[in-house]
Amino acid sequence: MGGWRDMPAEALEQQYSPSRWSRRLGSDAVIQAHMAATAAGTRRARAGTRTALHVPYGGGDAEKLDIYLPADPAGTFPVLLYIHGGYWQSLSKEESGFAAPPLVSRGVALAAVGYDTAPRGHMDAMVLQVRRSVVFLAKRFPAARGIYLCGHSAGAHLAAMVLSTDWTGYGVVPDIKGAVLVSGVYDLEPILHTYVNDALNMSREVARRNSPLLCVPAAAPAACEVLVAVAQHDSPEFRRQSQEYGQALRAAGWSVSMLDLAGVDHFDIVEKLSEDSYVLTQVILNLISRA
């Protein structure tokens, strides 16, 4: 059968260490550069945009949103929820506003969500927090022209779990028109056998029930377009996971596009969302404008 189950432990660790696949910088340096770039981009976005910062969507310390608002005061704009990566254990909303300027300038609000990262947060709780943040946005902006999700790495996993939500008990069905999943992990079982699970402490049961690949719902009647994006310099395992999840969504009737971005790695594939001319920025804007 082959696949990740047959990999030696050391090879599996390498496959799930995205920083070891960058061609730009060494493993530690690319992570530091990513944190610096996203933090600086977020500071610029806050300085140049109308914002509502630290808006609570729940009672927990981390349960807050930073909302970057376009000029339209009526609230009839589309809202994009950005869900940060960091392997469910680092980064925060403080580094998650960098993509706002190109969106806000074209009339799209960006909301950056905070959630309890590990070890304080556990996987079930993180998934629930992000789902509740989507419900909060649906209620806060009832006139919004749709909600869009954009998640990177662990954030792409959380966005994919939002797509699998049964909204029956939430009091509202959010109008999710699109999702952009960037360099994500959609099957958590391989993670159990790597260093990543040291902080997450997931059991096989927790990993399976929180694996989007294992809980793909039939496509909702309302159109929701999903873009699954991956970097040329993502690891073969990350690239495989993206391919398999995209195929699983398509098989379940979802409208799916795959985008393989040349010349970028696991980190600058999203850092460049601060740039108007970047191909993924343009793809996101086109996705929103088509709805």
The catalytic residues are 153, 234, 266
For residue 168, give the amino acid letter.
T
Q: What is the spatial distance between Cα 18 and Cα 266, in angstroms, rounded to a whole number?
A: 6
Determine how β-strand 64-69 pairs with β-strand 109-113.
Answer: antiparallel
